[in-house]
Structure 1
Amino acid sequence: MGNQIDFSLRRQRGMSYWGWLLVTALLGFALTCVSKMAPAYMDERYVGEALKSLGDNPNLENMTSGQIKKELSRFFLINNVRGEPTQSVQVVRGVKSTVVSIKYELRQPLVHNVDVVMKFNKQLDTAKPELCCDPLVDLEQFRKRD
């Protein structure tokens, strides 16, 4: 009986050096990915909030494209959103509605020569503000108007 206990204790020594090294490397890679990509996703969340707050504005239909961009710019300034989202605002006016679109792509270097490409597309259609911020209209078919 004593021999069986001794045998089972030898088998339960825990993880080896290589096991711990693998766990540490995987954890380090995951933390690197999160630290590089999280700011882009935080900005994307603020872009959605900006469009929702713009959709709650009762005077949105009467605002010019410049006023809409200025309103979004204020929201972005307060929430520290910089770069590509602020430059990608597009306003397209239709007969029955106005579509405000923020579509952009970010390329973030991850490790050495490996990049992560993140694509974001948010839209606000004034005819359907409750469906903010999913893209409903393909704006590529329209001529870009500012």
Structure 2
Amino acid sequence: MQNLKRQSGMTMWGMLFVLGTLAFALFLFFKLLPPYLTDFKINSALESLGRQPDVATMSLGDIRESIRKHLEIDSADSFDLSNITLEARGNSKIVRIAYEATVPMAFNISALISFDHHIEVRGGQ
């Protein structure tokens, strides 16, 4: 009786599927990376604002200007400052940045990413 060797390894179709899946994942990663990096800079500017001692007495215009300066240093100039809101709650203020980023993927397909960050500062009105 003859001993047949068992085949091992991946077929061409299996390899194409793995490579296609990997290429698609890399495509998504590189397309979605810039909005997340910009969001990281925006969140960093908001946290830096929260560490300032006089933020509780600042007006909305002063807060926007402070965040604009931080974003200008970090080269995130394309952010719309009208997305910054200020809410008063009793003895504290809440600075909120809520915005959406639309990333064109291919043809008429786009990805919509929503971001929402806030800090609460206590102190004067």
Task: Give the TM-score normalised by structure 2.
Answer: 0.85
Alpha-carbon distance, 1:94 to partner: 4.2
Compute the displacement of 1:58 (Å): 0.5
More strand as a share of residues: 2
Deviation at 1:86, TM superposition (A): 3.8
Consecutive unaligned residues in structure 1, runs of 5 or more: 128-146
Note the C-alpha offset of 1:84. Answer: 4.0
State percent identity of aligned pairs: 26
Match of 1:7 among 1, 5, 20: 5
Whole-angstrom distance in 2 between the partners of 1:62 and 1:110: 43
Deviation at 1:21, TM superposition (A): 1.4
CA RMSD of aligned residues (A): 2.1
**Structure with the larger helix share:** 1
Select which of 33, 36, 42 maps to 2:31.
36
**How many residues are aligned here?**
123
Tell me whether 1:80 sits opposite 2:70 in the alignment.
Answer: no
Q: Equivalent of 1:120, from 110, 115, 122?
A: 115
Distance 1:96 1:56 in 2: 17
Q: Pick which of 88-97 and 118-127 moved more.
A: 88-97
Structure 1 stretches of 4+ moved >4 Å: none
Question: Closer, same or farther in 2 for the Cα pair 1:26/1:86, shift >3 Å?
Answer: farther
- Following the alignment from structure 2 to structure 1, what is the Cα–Cα distance between the partners of residues 103 and 40? 18
Secondary structure of the residue aligned to 2:38 is: helix
2:19: which partner in 1? 24
1:65 aligned onto 2:60: yes
AA paired with 1:79?
D
**SS of the counterpart of 1:7?**
coil
Any idea what the Cα deviations from partners look like across 1:99-119, whole Å, max 9, x if unmatched? Answer: 211100111111222211100
Partner of 1:140: none
